[in-house]
């Protein structure tokens, strides 16, 4: 029995609605969002099995039925093979006409081989071909249904997990209507046929056999539990550890800055321990279940022959002839009933797959049948065509997000916008500004009131034509992992080159000309190769390329420096002068960007409290006046404010928006434009497999603590592998006993044989437990230590390592999960090889001892037998294998569409994406059909070879008996030992796993571990300087280029000196090197030229203990990274022994006054998703202050705060920075004008330095920036 083909499957994932993982915009949230859901899971819904054939045609249904028919014939042929096998024993044992009777059996084997080949090929080929055809249609329908759903539909689901859930549902459905259906037919027919033949040929023995089946059920239950524990406990535990690793790798700069590498490694390692224990326990259970199951089979052999001998002694006759029951009769009944039982057991897994397909089908048809309330799919977009947008009117609009209907975001908002107007919405965070943008794009419909376009209810308009007239630019631009050119063309694929160049020029993409590849430059994961300002300009160019009638700007220039902002703002202001009535609608916190607006709407708590132009609103001295006053610094300044001269002011960042993308992180964005190029990974893998030698001794060091397990594991594997040839010896003895003339002699011989059956069963159980249990101990120990070592090495690497496109957080997390797991399978190979040696050693030894002639000839069939089992296993599993590079492309497109649904929806790119998926998957279907034909041929051939090998063996053994070379016992023992040894070899070899993947994993793992870190933050070698002025910093002719863009020099011989306690402001154009200076100061990189000195002793930074140095620095970034834990843990992150009084003072300074009833135990959610942008930034400020650092680094530290909060927090920062050295990057120059030293950076050099007054008096670059 080929146990390698037994498999278990987990139930499919059902794409059910889940609680939103992010806050809705304009809200903070309530305590309920942090409470875990404890409701009892209900039984998953399912659909009728026949409903899964909805997308199939009549010829395809016939193809499916033919495949199932092939499975029925295949099952019958398996039973007939064992009957022929049993009868051949009687033929060989008879004293007369041995050769003729053996030839009769051989002819029967040949006929069955032909039937097995044809039926196996039809079964596997037809069912898999049918599955591939349906998979293409279902995937298109599923994707089309998902892309037409409302944005609200994505809000209540984890959009990031949608692509994997969709793919899982499709795979489960198609598996249930494909190969698994053929297996159901095969096992069902085998079960029924086996029982019929068993009862007909010997009903008493058949009943005796059936009474033994419950004992086999115990073994199956043990193995099933072990598999469930292995896939459930171990995997779930590692999922927690994997989530920690992914979070750490995504926030690697924050982790490095706060020196928490060791802490995060310990957190990860703590979760690996339980995973190891669960894996070891599951392996011992697996060994017990496997050994027990085989032992029960061996015991059943003994019981069957014992009972048959007893029946023979009592005078019972066979069924077909008036003769005494013979050994072949017992043998055939035994195998018929046994195979019926195994077929029934194997029927469970494919039957469960059919049930899983029905459950996955329920999820699929739920999406298919769900009709969106807002979006209009193909054939449904029948509203009025919109050619130009002349007006937009909100009339008493009330709105609450569907995910949080209890919170009103807009409350009776009314206003009108005319074509060509420049309109702005201002107000504090949570006032509803971004919600208005979403309603204008009709991502949602208002709960009450009306949104009208051209005096027509927006719901009556054709959505596709409406959105074509709109261009959107947000504060957090979405860039895809492809070239700049493709990013800009996204949404306008047919734009001309001239239009593309004009859009780039209007968006001030001047930095592109300095890149070696220009517009074909790879932007990196989420645009990681570019600054925030550069990314925002790319997004602006993408919007301008659409030539929109309405331009929606949600803090579109917030990440630009003053010069770039002014130039882009002039471009936006000049759009209306081109002859087209371009309406500009802005959400702004930086009020200098809206002073030229025709109408400014001021929102407060979802209500428009003021409206008018800049001058009119100032004269009212209301809410708007207060916002300007808080930003400009007082009434005296406000009085002098005009449209032509406003100081650069501080602002809050854009309010948080509902993240229907499943995560707004740059790292989550993937490439949308898929290049149909050959993956060089295949060539790399082939080269490695050809030349690489796995360092076994180095691998063994990872499990040196378990070396004591080697001996019992090898002994157990040898015993477990030898069980099959040993069983052959005992079986031959028992069968030969039935050839005796005297029934008493038969009975006595069989009784003597029972002791060998008992010894064999005990040895089998012990062998299974020893092999799987102790191999599991070594494997799990190795896997745990490899993962720990891998993450430790990743954290040890310099920051430049993580800048490599090949080392994105997603790729490193995947490597962390798979490398160690696959390399750990090398230990499974140890047991497999030992089992192979046991099977071959006993099989060959006994076979040649009994008859070298028979053994030598049968030996030639071993490679064929092994190949047959391997091919059969691959043929069964081929349906679950990947579809190659084309399938990756399809998955990539689907993932991009779900993760960036707002960008896709704004561009109206849904039809083109569906078309792209259909075009790409046509290749997938074509290759799938070819694979189905190959799988059918392979499966049929593997089944036929088994029949041919048995026929050949009996023919040759019969010849030796007929010639008198060997007697029956010698010939049959030799033949069965070789054949059963070959089957044992195949069973043991099945535990090897994928050797090529193991080898590749070892190569990649050790390649990573052998890489030397240029700046080792885990084991620093530097010294701690003895100095009193830790804040004194000096850059001396520092030059630098990023490791993966060495051709672009970022810093060009920069020199400056900062005294201890000085406040330093950095300003200048985007890409001028400001953020790079901060990175150099934290020693994320070492200079390519020049040196950096610290303290009054001018200690080179490269010689200092890097962990000590980073502990003296507090960092607040523009986009702070928070961890999925409580507020308290985030604030004290990287700090130890924080006193309560100091903590409260820091909270007060950072204005942490927004916490709910849970206080410091408030959960912030993944990446701080439960907090608004301003709240996250205040937590980051508090986190930096708690460290009481000697140097503070502030990268737009107050940019995400509203005006009132910013004034308070800025004052607090000014107080807490006294006595400390501080560095601040600012695009709003008002935030750094009180700095003692201001460094103006441009083109990688410091063009000016001095105080505000000195630079203004010099009337140079800074003065020009100040006056813009």
Query: What confidence category does residue 665 fall into, taking pLDDT thresholds of 50, 70 and 90?
Result: very low
Work out the average pLDDT over 728-743.
77
Considering only residues 500 and 1209, tell me which one the structure prediction assigns the higher pLDDT.
500
User: What does DSSP say about strands 422-427 and 583-587: parallel, antiparallel, or unpaired?
Assistant: parallel
pLDDT at res. 1031: 86
* Per-residue confidence (pLDDT) for residue 259, from 0 to 100: 83
For position 678, what pLDDT does the model report? 44
Reported as a pLDDT band with limits 50, 70 and 90, residue 557 is low
Q: What pLDDT is recorded for position 1035? A: 93
Highest averaged pLDDT of the listed ranges 68-82, 681-695, 943-957:
68-82
741: Cβ–Cβ under 8 A, 6 or more apart, which residues?
none
How far apart CA 267 and CA 272 sit, in angstroms, is: 9
What pLDDT band is residue 569 in, cutting at 50, 70 and 90? low
Kindly tell me if the per-residue pLDDT of 473 is higher than 90.
no
Q: Which of the two residues, 1238 and 90, has the higher pLDDT score?
A: 1238
Look at the chain and count its residues.
1268
Determine the angle formed by the axes of helices 884-899 and 910-962, rounding to 10 degrees: 150
pLDDT over 90 percentage in the chain: 6
Structure tokens at 1142: 């100091």
Q: How confident is the model at residue 23 (pLDDT cuts 50, 70, 90)?
A: very low
* Highest mean pLDDT pick, 321-335, 1024-1038, 1113-1127: 1024-1038
Pair 645, 566: CB distance under 8 Å: no
Q: Is the model more confident about 1203 or about 361?
A: 361
Measured distance between the N- and C-terminal CA atoms of the chain, rounded to whole angstroms? 83
Helices (H), 900-909: 901-907
What pLDDT score does 886 carry?
62
pLDDT at 69: 92
Average model confidence (pLDDT) across the chain:
77
Encode pLDDT of 259-291 as tens digits.
Answer: 888 888 888 888 888 878 877 887 888 888 888
Is pLDDT above 50 for 638?
A: no
pLDDT at 318 over 50: no
Helix (H) or strand (E) holding 1040: strand 1033-1040
Specify which of 242-251, 490-499, 1246-1255 reaches the highest per-range mean pLDDT: 1246-1255
Tell me, what's the pLDDT at 1087?
Answer: 92
- pLDDT of 601: 92
Average pLDDT over residues 491-501: 81
Residue corresponding to tokens 């400014």? 600
Q: What pLDDT does residue 632 have?
A: 53
pLDDT at site 568 = 61
Which residue has better confidence, 1241 or 888? 1241
Q: What is the DSSP string of 228-297?
A: HHIIIIIHHHHHHHHHHHHHHHHTHHHHHHTT-HHHHHHHHHHHHHHHHHHHHHHHHHHHHHHHHHHHHH
Label residue 590 left, alpha or beta by phi (over 0 means left) and psi (-120 to 50 means alpha).
beta
User: How many other CB atoms sit within 10 Å of the CB of residue 371?
Assistant: 12
- Which helix (H) or strand (E) is 554 found in, with range? strand 550-554
- Residue 11 clears pLDDT 50, i.e. is over it: no
Position 1042 pLDDT exceeds 80: yes
What DSSP element (H or E) covers 410?
strand 410-418
Condensed to tens digits (0 to 9), the pLDDT of residues 1203-1217 reads 666 676 677 677 677
* CA dist., res. 429 & res. 422, Å (int): 22
Nearest one of 343, 325, 333, 323 to 301, comparing CA atoms: 333
Model confidence over 911-950: pLDDT tens digits? 767 777 777 777 777 777 877 887 788 788 777 887 887 7
Distance, in Å, from the CA atom of 205 to the CA atom of 333, rounded to the nearest integer, reads: 7
Give percent above pLDDT 70 in the chain.
80
Q: Residue 729 to residues 341, 758, 972: CA-CA distances in angstroms?
A: 24, 14, 9
pLDDT of residue 874: 56
**Residue 640 pLDDT greater than 50, yes or no:** no
pLDDT band at 594 (very low <50, low <70, confident <90, very high): confident
Please compute the mean of the pLDDT values over residues 290-301 and round it to a whole number: 84
pLDDT at 603 over 80: yes
Q: How confident is the model at residue 452 (pLDDT cuts 50, 70, 90)?
A: very high
Span of 630-639, 1060-1069, 1122-1131 with lowest mean pLDDT: 630-639
Pairwise CA distance, residues 477 & 664, whole Å: 9
Q: What is the pLDDT of residue 560?
A: 59
Residue 1039 has a pLDDT of 92
pLDDT, tens digit (0-9, with 9 covering 90-100), for 825-840: 777 778 888 888 888 8
Mean pLDDT value across residues 380-403: 84
pLDDT band at 6 (very low <50, low <70, confident <90, very high): very low
Per-residue pLDDT tens digits for 866-886: 666 566 555 444 444 444 556
Q: How far, in Å, CA of 126 to CA of 186, rounded?
A: 14
Q: Give residue 90's pLDDT.
A: 60
Number of H-type helices and E-type strands within the chain:
39, 20
Read off the pLDDT band of 562 (50, 70, 90). low
Average pLDDT over residues 1193-1203: 72
Residue 789 has pLDDT above 60, yes or no: yes
């Amino acid at each position: 029995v080929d146990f390698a083909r037994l498999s278990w499957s987990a139930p499919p994932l059902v794409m059910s609605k889940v609680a939103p993982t992010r806050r809705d915009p304009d809200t903070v949230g309530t305590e309920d969002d942090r409470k875990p859901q404890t409701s009892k899971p209900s039984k998953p819904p399912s659909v009728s099995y026949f409903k899964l054939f909805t997308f199939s045609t009549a010829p395809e249904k016939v193809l499916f039925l033919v495949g199932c028919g092939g499975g029925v014939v295949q099952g019958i042929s398996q039973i007939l093979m064992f009957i022929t096998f049993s009868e051949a024993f009687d033929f060989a044992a008879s004293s007369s006409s041995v050769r003729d009777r053996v030839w009769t059996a051989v002819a029967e084997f040949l006929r069955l081989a032909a039937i097995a080949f044809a039926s196996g090929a039809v079964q596997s080929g037809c069912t898999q071909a049918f599955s591939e055809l349906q998979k293409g249609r279902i995937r298109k329908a599923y994707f089309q249904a998902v892309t037409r759903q409302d944005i609200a539909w994505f809000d209540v689901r984890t959009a990031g997990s949608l692509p994997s859930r969709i793919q899982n549902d499709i795979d489960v459905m198609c598996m249930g209507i494909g190969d698994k259906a053929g297996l159901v037919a095969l096992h069902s027919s085998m079960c029924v046929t086996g029982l019929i033949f068993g009862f007909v040929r010997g009903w008493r023995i058949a009943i005796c056999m059936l009474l033994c089946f419950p004992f086999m059920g115990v073994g199956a239950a043990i193995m099933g539990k072990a598999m469930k524990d292995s896939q459930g406990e171990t995997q779930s535990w590692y999922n927690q550890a994997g989530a920690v690793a992914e979070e750490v790798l995504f926030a690697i700069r924050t982790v490095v800055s706060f020196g928490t590498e060791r802490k995060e490694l310990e957190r990860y390692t703590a979760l690996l321990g339980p995973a190891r224990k669960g894996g070891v326990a599951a392996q011992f259970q697996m060994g017990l279940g496997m050994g027990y199951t085989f032992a029960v089979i061996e015991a059943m052999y003994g019981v069957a022959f014992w009972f048959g001998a007893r029946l023979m002694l009592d005078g019972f006759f066979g069924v077909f002839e008036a003769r005494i029951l013979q050994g072949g009769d017992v043998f055939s009944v035994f195998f018929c009933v046994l195979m019926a039982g195994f077929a029934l057991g194997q029927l469970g897994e494919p039957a469960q797959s059919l049930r899983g397909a029905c459950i996955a089908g329920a999820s699929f048809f739920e999406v298919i049948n769900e009709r969106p309330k807002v979006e209009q799919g193909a054939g449904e977009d029948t509203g009025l065509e919109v050619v130009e947008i002349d007006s937009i009117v909100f009339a008493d609009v009330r709105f609450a997000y569907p995910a949080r209907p209890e919170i009103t975001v807009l409350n009776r908002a009314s206003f009108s916008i005319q074509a060509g107007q420049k309109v702005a919405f201002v107000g504090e965070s949570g006032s509803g500004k971004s919600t208005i943008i979403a309603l204008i794009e009709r991502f949602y419909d208002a709960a009450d009131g009306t949104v009208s376009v051209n005096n027509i209810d927006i719901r009556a308009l054709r959505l596709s034509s409406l959105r074509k007239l709109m261009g959107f630019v947000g504060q957090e631009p979405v860039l895809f992992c492809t070239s700049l050119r493709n990013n800009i063309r996204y949404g306008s694929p047919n734009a001309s080159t001239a239009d593309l160049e004009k859009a780039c020029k209007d968006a001030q993409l001047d930095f592109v000309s300095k890149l070696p590849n220009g517009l074909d430059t790879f932007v990196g994961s989420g645009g990681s190769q570019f600054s925030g300002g550069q990314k925002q300009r790319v997004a602006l160019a993408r919007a301008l390329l659409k030539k929109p009638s309405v331009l929606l700007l949600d803090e579109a220039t917030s990440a630009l420096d003053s010069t770039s902002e002014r130039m882009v703002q002039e471009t936006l202001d000049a759009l209306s002068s081109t002859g087209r009535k371009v309406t500009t609608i802005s959400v702004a916190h930086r009020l200098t960007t809206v002073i030229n607006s025709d109408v400014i709407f001021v929102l407060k708590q979802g209500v428009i409290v003021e409206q008018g132009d800049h001058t009119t609103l100032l004269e009212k001295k209301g809410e708007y006046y207060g916002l300007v006053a808080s930003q400009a610094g007082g009434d005296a300044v406000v009085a002098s404010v005009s449209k032509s001269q406003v100081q650069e002011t501080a602002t809050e960042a854009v309010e948080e928006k509902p993240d229907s993308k499943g995560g707004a992180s740059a790292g989550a964005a993937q490439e949308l434009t898929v290049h149909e190029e050959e993956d060089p990974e295949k060539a790399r893998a082939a080269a490695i497999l050809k030349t690489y030698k796995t360092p076994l001794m180095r691998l063994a060091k990872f499990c040196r603590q378990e070396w004591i397990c080697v001996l019992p594991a090898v002994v157990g594997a040898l015993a477990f592998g030898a069980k099959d040839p040993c069983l052959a010896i005992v079986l031959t003895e028992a069968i030969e006993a039935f050839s005796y003339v005297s029934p008493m002699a038969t009975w006595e011989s069989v009784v003597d044989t029972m002791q060998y059956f008992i010894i064999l069963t005990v040895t089998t159980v012990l062998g299974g437990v020893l092999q799987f249990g102790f191999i599991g101990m070594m494997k799990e120990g190795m896997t745990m230590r490899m993962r720990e070592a891998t993450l430790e090495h990743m954290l040890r690497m310099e920051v430049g390592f993580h800048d490599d496109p090949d080392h994105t957080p997603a790729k490193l997390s995947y490597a962390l999960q798979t490398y160690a797991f696959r390399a750990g399978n090398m230990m499974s190979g140890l047991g497999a090889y030992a089992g192979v040696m046991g099977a071959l050693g006993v099989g060959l030894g006994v076979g040649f001892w009994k008859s070298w002639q028979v053994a030598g000839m049968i030996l030639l069939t071993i490679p064929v037998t092994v190949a047959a089992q391997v091919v059969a296993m691959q043929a069964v599993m081929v349906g679950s294998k990947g579809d190659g590079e084309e399938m990756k492309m399809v998955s990539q497109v689907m993932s991009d569409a779900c993760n960036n649904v707002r960008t896709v929806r704004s561009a109206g790119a849904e039809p083109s994406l569906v078309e792209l998926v259909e075009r790409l998957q046509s290749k997938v279907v074509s290759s799938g059909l070819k694979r189905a034909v190959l799988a059918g041929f392979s499966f049929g051939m593997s089944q036929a070879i088994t029949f041919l090998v048995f026929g050949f063996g009996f023919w040759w053994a019969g010849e030796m008996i007929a010639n008198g070379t060997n007697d029956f016992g010698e010939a049959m023992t030799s033949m069965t030992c070789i054949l059963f040894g070959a089957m044992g070899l195949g069973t043991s070899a099945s535990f090897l796993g994928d050797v090529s993947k193991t080898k590749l994993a070892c190569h990649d793992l050790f390649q990573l571990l052998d890489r030397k870190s240029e700046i080792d933050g885990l084991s620093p070698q530097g010294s701690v300087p003895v100095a009193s002025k830790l804040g004194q910093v000096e850059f001396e002719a520092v030059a630098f280029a990023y490791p993966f863009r060495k051709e672009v020099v970022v810093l060009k011989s920069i020199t400056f000196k900062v005294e201890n306690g000085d406040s330093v402001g950095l300003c200048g154009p985007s890409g001028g090197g400001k953020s790079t200076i901060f990175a150099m100061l934290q020693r994320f990189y070492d200079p390519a030229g020049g040196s950096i000195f610290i303290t009054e002793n001018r200690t080179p930074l490269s010689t200092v203990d890097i962990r000590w140095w980073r502990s003296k620095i507090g960092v607040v970034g523009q986009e702070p990274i928070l961890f999925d834990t409580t507020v308290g843990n985030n604030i004290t992150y990287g700090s130890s022994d924080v006193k309560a009084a100091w903590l409260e003072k820091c909270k007060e300074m950072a204005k942490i006054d927004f916490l709910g009833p849970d206080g410091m135990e408030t959960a912030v959610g993944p990446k701080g998703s439960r907090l608004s942008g301003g709240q996250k930034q205040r937590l980051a400020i508090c986190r930096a202050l708690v460290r009481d650092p000697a140097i503070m680094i502030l990268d737009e530290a107050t940019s995400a705060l509203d005006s009132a909060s910013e004034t308070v927090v800025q004052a607090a920062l000014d107080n807490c920075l006294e006595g400390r050295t501080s560095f601040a990057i600012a695009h709003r120059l008002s935030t750094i004008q009180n700095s003692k030293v201001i460094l103006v950076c441009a083109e990688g050099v410091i063009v000016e330095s001095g105080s505000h007054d000195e630079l203004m008096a010099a009337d140079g670059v800074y003065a020009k920036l100040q006056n813009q």
